[in-house]
A = this chain, B = another copy of it.
């Protein structure tokens, strides 16, 4: 274990993770580094990989070759081979448990995955200028999960110095960006005894010094892949012989966007990625669309999904094509509980470094933390999704996203105080 305590190395840890962004079920280097630190911290229980997950519930798992390639990259980058072995097959993530006296079980959920997008090389972009830009071409921590993982470690490190009495569990969750990892963690036994759950996200267009006590308005989401298969034909010679998969997919998309609004609340639809065909002179026999539907409630998402499915199937049939629809991933909606969010707001108000507390805000997008929040709420517990402001030059998911590292210790302080207060106040 490293000689210096975690709190002195927060920036170093975050930058190390930033250099090694890894997408869903490929967080090998990331998990290995987290586990290494957790072992150094000497937690009471440490569940790694398969042991941290309901393994059958993994979604959007990539192919074996893909998993192997990232595994090897992690090895090359210096990840501990013994830890890596425990992640074989793409079972990433970890759950750490600290027992500190008699009291409630309070959980913190942080996500750890990166995004498949190129990071900026601009001189203005701090990671580029200061040498910790992504070393994985085409991948990037563009949503601050490097900071989240660091906060998770920092909270474990710091809790020992408080008078917290109870059990602290930290979920280092893989695959948030693809709504892939929340469900397997929520379905694992680790969630069963959690009384209170805090999830955390940095940024979200809030500046350093701001805290959002409770985020709501997670849209339920379902991501679908529709693959159309028709028959090819020469576009000049036998145009009538083809069953045109591109006509099918375009008819589907035009009508997907036209699914009626719903009286019960907000819905969303996006055909985010398309592809198909081989050459201009061949009628395309294959085409696909990857789309997502969302709803303010899970029911609204299901409405969109049912209409979308009907649309896609009839578009295929109209053009003589077959279509296979698969659900890539899904996440429900969720809300922060008032008593827990209020408590976080009170704690933040009492922190001198916090300049502004926003009581409640709306997330707008989707988050598979919703799985864990709902699991806790279903068991009678409380959950809140907390925002920690950070100055970020580019927007989330853009090439110039970066976090203000000053927000990392601030986030740790607020969360640690909140965890201690929860055990005290039992809201």
Chain A residues numbered 275-307 whose CB sits less than 8 Å from any CB in chain B: 275-284, 287, 290-292, 294, 303
A395 nearest CB neighbor, chain B only: B234
A240 nearest CB neighbor, chain B only: B262
On chain B, the residues within 8 Å of A273 by CB distance are: 276-280, 284
Q: Verify B260–A253 contact, CB threshold 8 A.
A: no
Contact of A240 among B263, B315, B397 (CB under 8 A): B263
Given A276-B274, A279-B272, A282-B397, A247-B258 contact (CB < 8 Å): yes
On chain B, the residues within 8 Å of A291 by CB distance are: 280
Is A9's CB within 8 Å of the partner chain B?
no
- Taken together as a complex, chains A and B put the C-alpha atoms of A319 and B253 apart, in Å, by 14
Is A239's CB within 8 Å of the partner chain B?
yes
On chain B, the residues within 8 Å of A264 by CB distance are: 240
Contact of A260 among B239, B263, B294 (CB under 8 A): B239
Is A30's CB within 8 Å of the partner chain B?
no
Q: Verify B246–A318 contact, CB threshold 8 A.
A: no
- Taken together as a complex, chains A and B put the C-alpha atoms of A297 and B363 apart, in Å, by 20
CB distance from A64 to the nearest CB of B (A): 20
A267 nearest CB neighbor, chain B only: B261
A311 nearest CB neighbor, chain B only: B318
Q: Verify A284–B272 contact, CB threshold 8 A.
A: yes
When each residue 350-369 of chain A gets 1 if its CB lies under 8 Å from chain B and 0 otherwise, what string results?
Answer: 00000000000001111000
Q: Verify B266–A261 contact, CB threshold 8 A.
A: yes
On chain B, the residues within 8 Å of A303 by CB distance are: 240
Q: Verify A239–B254 contact, CB threshold 8 A.
A: no
Contact of A246 among B253, B255, B266 (CB under 8 A): B253
On chain B, the residues within 8 Å of A281 by CB distance are: 221, 223, 270, 272, 292, 365-366
Interface size class of chain A, counting residues whose CB lies under 8 Å from the partner chain: 35 or more
Is A237's CB within 8 Å of the partner chain B?
yes
- Taken together as a complex, chains A and B put the C-alpha atoms of A251 and B271 apart, in Å, by 13
Given A275-B274, A287-B274, A261-B254 contact (CB < 8 Å): no
Is A236's CB within 8 Å of the partner chain B?
yes
On chain B, the residues within 8 Å of A290 by CB distance are: 277, 279-280
Kindly name the residue among A219, A241, A244 whose own CB sees the greatest number of chain B CB atoms within 10 A. Answer: A244
Given A117-B278, A273-B278, A239-B253 contact (CB < 8 Å): no
- Taken together as a complex, chains A and B put the C-alpha atoms of A366 and B303 apart, in Å, by 24
Given A250-B253, A365-B234, A272-B261 contact (CB < 8 Å): no
Is A188's CB within 8 Å of the partner chain B?
no
- Taken together as a complex, chains A and B put the C-alpha atoms of A234 and B310 apart, in Å, by 22
Kindly name the residue among A258, A271, A287, A294 whose own CB sees the greatest number of chain B CB atoms within 10 A. Answer: A258
- Taken together as a complex, chains A and B put the C-alpha atoms of A351 and B165 apart, in Å, by 55
Is A5's CB within 8 Å of the partner chain B?
no
Q: Verify B257–A247 contact, CB threshold 8 A.
A: yes
Q: Verify B221–A236 contact, CB threshold 8 A.
A: yes
On chain B, the residues within 8 Å of A246 by CB distance are: 253, 271-272, 274
- Taken together as a complex, chains A and B put the C-alpha atoms of A238 and B237 apart, in Å, by 24
Pairs of residues from A and B, 5 with the lowest C-beta to C-beta distance, nearest first: A257-B258, A237-B364, A235-B270, A314-B318, A236-B365
Chain A contacts to B: CB under 8 angstroms: 116-117, 219, 221, 223, 234-242, 244, 246-247, 249-251, 253-255, 257-258, 260-284, 287, 290-292, 294, 303, 310-311, 314-315, 317-320, 328, 363-366, 396-397
Q: 17 A–B contact pairs at CB < 8 A?
A: A117-B278, A235-B270, A235-B272, A236-B366, A239-B260, A240-B260, A247-B271, A249-B250, A250-B274, A255-B318, A271-B277, A272-B277, A272-B283, A273-B278, A279-B290, A314-B314, A318-B318
